[in-house]
Structure 1
Amino acid sequence: MELFRAKIRDIPNFPQPGILFRDITPLIKDPAALRLAVREILHPFLSRNITVVAGIEARGFIFGSLVAWELGVGFVPLRKPGKLPYIVESISYNLEYGSTNLEVHTDAFSSEDNVLLVDDLLATGGSAKAACNLIERLGATVTACAFVIELDSLKGREQLSNYVIHSLLHY
């Protein structure tokens, strides 16, 4: 895990004053670190009968699509408002520094789907909890949630107490 920690860059006061942004760009630029991160994210779920991976815009797309590829399953993007061309289901949620919506196509999941939700960061848990609610609203089962980074002091894990959670790094 120290390899991953060495590839995370701290950016103070981004996207606003008082926020310390954990930048994964150096990690995803390094092919060996990226490959290892994807393997470490998916490893606990190899025997969990995952049928689809969902990723939260935007950095969740990076890790989620690679995890889906490695598992041999499909990938569903959970997007910001107005980005999907088909009929969408939407949910509102709060961020640590604002609020927004999350959308997904209404036909993205079925009742037979066991979903692994993937994102780069678990902070307050708002976006991940909203994503889980959205997935379940469409009839699928959220099998687990996986993150590259978890900010323990923000207690996002408490928002996801009904789910298996796997995080590579804790800050």
Structure 2
Amino acid sequence: MDIKDHIRSIPDFPRPGILFYDISTLLAHADAWSVAMGRLAKGISRYQPDVLAGVESRGFLVAAPLALKLGLGFIMVRKRGKLPGPTVPYEYALEYGTDVIEVQADAVQTGQRVVVLDDLLATGGTMGASIDLLNSLGANVVGAGCIIELSFLNGRKRLDVPFTSLVTYDA
């Protein structure tokens, strides 16, 4: 099965000139979604994680069912102010300005093997920041993965861990 057949391209979203790759159509197709999770599970398993971290918000749709499939825990990397209890923030640079992500202070244990997941890797800024944040808390981030990689944006180069994707778009 070609997973790309189940990913819709939407031109000029969220603004003119952007081609948005929408996984909603993949999620809506039970067989394709199952195949995608199976393939991602196989790719992620080789990193032998203890827990999976999903990056807000579509990364939750990838990491949570994958964690369940692999018998692992799931943690959330969220934008500031979205998590209850004590949190640890991490500020990182964007193309124009900065943003902040955070995790709950007790989300990971020292040495815990973590794989960070999102739906799509573009420039790698948020994924890289998530890896840095979790490592700063004592986790051992051993890999990262996504359904879609936009290889022309070179996001993989910003990651200092092995990376897995199911489909790649070159433009």
TM-score, length basis structure 2: 0.93
Cross-structure match for 2:49: 50
Q: Mapping of 1:77-116 within 5 angstroms?
A: 77-95=76-94, 99-116=98-115
Q: Mapping of 1:32-51 within 5 angstroms?
A: 32-51=31-50
Pick which of 95-104 and 42-51 moved more.
95-104
Partner amino acid for 2:168?
A: H
Q: Distance in 2 between matches of 1:21 and 1:96?
A: 18
Cross-structure match for 2:20: 21
Cross-structure match for 2:149: 150
Q: Distance in 2 between matches of 1:47 and 1:126?
A: 24
Partners of 1:145 and 1:165 within 8 A in 2 = yes
Q: Distance in 2 between matches of 1:25 and 1:7?
A: 9
Q: Distance in 2 between matches of 1:157 and 1:5?
A: 20
Are the structure 2 counterparts of residues 130 and 9 from structure 1 closer, same or farther at C-alpha, using a change threshold of 3 Å?
A: same
1:170 to 160, 168, 171: 168
Are the structure 2 counterparts of residues 31 and 14 from structure 1 closer, same or farther at C-alpha, using a change threshold of 3 Å?
A: same
Q: Distance in 2 between matches of 1:46 and 1:121?
A: 19
Q: Distance in 1 between matches of 2:17 and 2:98?
A: 17
Q: Distance in 2 between matches of 1:10 and 1:99?
A: 28
Partners of 1:96 and 1:124 within 8 A in 2 = no
Are the structure 2 counterparts of residues 96 and 58 from structure 1 closer, same or farther at C-alpha, using a change threshold of 3 Å?
A: farther
The alignment's C-alpha RMSD in Å is 1.5
Partners of 2:44 and 2:164 within 8 A in 1 = no
Partners of 2:47 and 2:143 within 8 A in 1 = no
How many residues align structurally?
A: 169
Deviation readout 1:55-98 (Å, 9 max, x if unpaired): 00111001100110011111001011111011111112345676
| Percentage of pairs with the same residue | 41
TM-score, length basis structure 1: 0.93
Are the structure 2 counterparts of residues 159 and 23 from structure 1 closer, same or farther at C-alpha, using a change threshold of 3 Å?
A: same
Partners of 1:111 and 1:138 within 8 A in 2 = yes
Q: In structure 1, the residue corresponding to 2:79 is in which secondary structure? A: coil
Deviation readout 1:102-132 (Å, 9 max, x if unpaired): 1100110011310011110000000100000
- Can you give the 5+ residue segments of structure 2 that lack an aligned partner in the other structure? none
Partner amino acid for 2:29?
A: D
CA displacement at 1:11 relative to structure 2: 1.2
